[in-house]
């Protein structure tokens, strides 16, 4: 019985080998027609032939219909005025001629306009005063300490600025005590200089309280008073030196 089993086993193995050879021959012949075949010529490779599933899904986009752009500016439609034939009214024989009537209407219109304009002027009044320019905050000559530069604040042409400055300096040396500061001057003299400058230079009329003239006086008197103070101190030093050297007591400054 064992011999029969071995015989059957031998026949089965032989049939399996022949089947493998046949499959290999078939695959080899197929490789000759398709030399780039990616699979090896084995029996196990032949049973692995199958299509792989798609990894990424395919998405298709459909174009959207373009809508018209919105209108930014509102569109206003105006009605078209159509010409209509108007029949003239019947002329009254007792009425004055057309030329006289038109002249009378023109006169009445002018008189009405005069009355309206006169009434408006009477109610509102004539604004002869121009709106004045206020003084900037701070003090002149101190742009880094909360003040301002006078020439830059006025923004005048150089010729006009220099002309006004020269006028103010002349009046200051003629009317004021230049050894004193602005606050130690007489108020009426300051006002007189401002009034004279405004009368001679019309550009100053638009500035409130003639503050450009006052600023020019402040700057000039600051310079002259400090200069006088330095000269006074220098004279005092010279007299003290003379006292030490000569022994005199004359220290009158």
- Residue 168, pLDDT above cutoff 80: yes
At 40-62, the pLDDT tens digits run: 544 444 455 555 566 666 777 77
DSSP assignment letter at 129: S
Residue 133, classed as helix, strand or coil, is strand
For all residues of the chain together, what is the average pLDDT? Answer: 73
- What confidence score (pLDDT) does residue 252 get? 56
Question: Minimum mean pLDDT among 44-58, 81-95, 238-252: which range?
Answer: 81-95
The pLDDT value recorded for residue 120 is: 39
**Rounded to whole angstroms, how far apart are CA atoms 53 and 47?**
17
pLDDT digits (tens, 9 = 90+) for 190-202: 999 999 999 999 9
Q: Which of 66, 21, 73 is nearest to 46 (CA)?
A: 21
């Amino acid at each position: 019985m064992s011999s029969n089993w071995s015989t059957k086993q031998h026949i089965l193995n032989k049939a399996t080998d022949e089947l493998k050879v046949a499959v290999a021959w078939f695959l080899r012949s197929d490789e000759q027609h398709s030399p780039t075949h990616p699979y090896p010529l084995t029996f196990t490779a032949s049973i692995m032939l199958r299509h792989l599933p798609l990894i990424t899904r395919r998405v298709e986009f459909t174009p959207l219909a373009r809508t018209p752009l919105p209108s930014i500016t509102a569109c206003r439609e105006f009605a078209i005025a159509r010409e209509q034939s108007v029949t003239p009214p019947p002329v009254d024989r007792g009425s004055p001629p057309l030329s006289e009537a038109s002249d009378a209407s023109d006169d009445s219109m002018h008189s009405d306009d005069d009355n309206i304009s006169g009434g408006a002027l009477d109610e509102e009044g004539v604004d002869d005063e121009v709106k004045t320019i206020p003084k900037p905050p701070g003090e002149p000559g101190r742009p880094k300490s909360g003040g301002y530069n006078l020439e830059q604040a006025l923004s005048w042409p150089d010729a006009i600025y220099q002309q006004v400055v020269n006028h103010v300096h002349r009046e200051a040396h003629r009317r004021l005590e230049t050894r004193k500061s602005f606050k130690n001057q007489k108020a009426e003299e300051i006002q007189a200089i401002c009034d004279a400058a405004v009368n001679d230079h019309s550009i100053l009329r638009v500035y409130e309280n003639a503050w450009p003239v006052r600023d020019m006086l402040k700057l000039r008197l600051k310079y002259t008073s400090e200069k006088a103070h330095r000269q006074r101190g220098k004279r005092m030093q010279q007299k003290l030196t003379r006292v030490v050297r000569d022994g005199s007591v004359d220290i009158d400054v």
